[in-house]
A = this chain, B = another copy of it.
Amino acid sequence: MSNFISEYHRLDSQTRFLLEIDKLKQIIRQTYLPGTEKKENSAEHSWHLAVMAMVLQEHSDENVNLLRVLKMLLIHDIVEIDAGDTYCYDPQANSDKSQREILAADRIFGLLPDEQGSELRELWDEFEARLTPESKFAAALDCLMPVLHNYHTQGRSWKEHGITRSQVMARVAKIEKASAPLWKLVCSVIDEAVAREFLSA
């Protein structure tokens, strides 16, 4: 009987968490989706990065545990439900980003049964710290995709915000620490974006 009650409580907490994170589908990023007038939301972005990890794993400089990378990417933006999406080129919004996101992580991962909430929180902390091969590779994908999206929308979001090449280069620097082939790719896409005037020199 106590097993039944405990199972019921676990499932109830888990279901509340899963309904709460539905809100990530309403968090809108600055990225435009190619061929549309639509900006990307953080849930579909997280899906895209996870498939990207499946497909591009071989290009990581260090061996990575794919399951850990996937888990990390699937939950890396959940804190935005409370903290909002912080545009990476907005220094003011970034000044208190970490504080806002820590409060969000406490609340949202706290909806889960204790040990499960702790596991997801540790994955999020690991992603934020970018010290392990898995978190470095995950962060590289998170930087690479917006460059591809911008390139394939003629730099629409870069232009709207007056972003320059040096800002993008500073942002994507972490790709160099994770993957030589992806670093080569992103540099050539940025060069081409400048040449085609999608991005200011």
- Chain A residues close to B by CB (< 8 Å): 7, 10-11, 14-15, 17-19, 21-26, 33-36, 38, 40-41, 43-44, 46-48, 50-52, 54-56, 58-59, 66-67, 70-71, 74-75, 112, 116, 120, 145, 148-149, 152, 181-182, 185
Contact = CB atoms under 8 A, between A and B. Distances in A.
How many copies the complex holds: the figure is 2
Contact of A55 (B14, B145, B149, B185): B14
Residue of A26, A59, A74, A182 with highest tally of chain B CB at under 10 A: A74
A11 B59 contact: yes
Contact of A50 (B50, B145, B149): B50
Contacts of A19: 34, 148, 152
Residue of A50, A112, A145, A182 with highest tally of chain B CB at under 10 A: A50
Nearest to A40: B25
Given A15-B148, A54-B74, A71-B54, A36 B44 contact: no
Contacts of A50: 47, 50, 70, 74
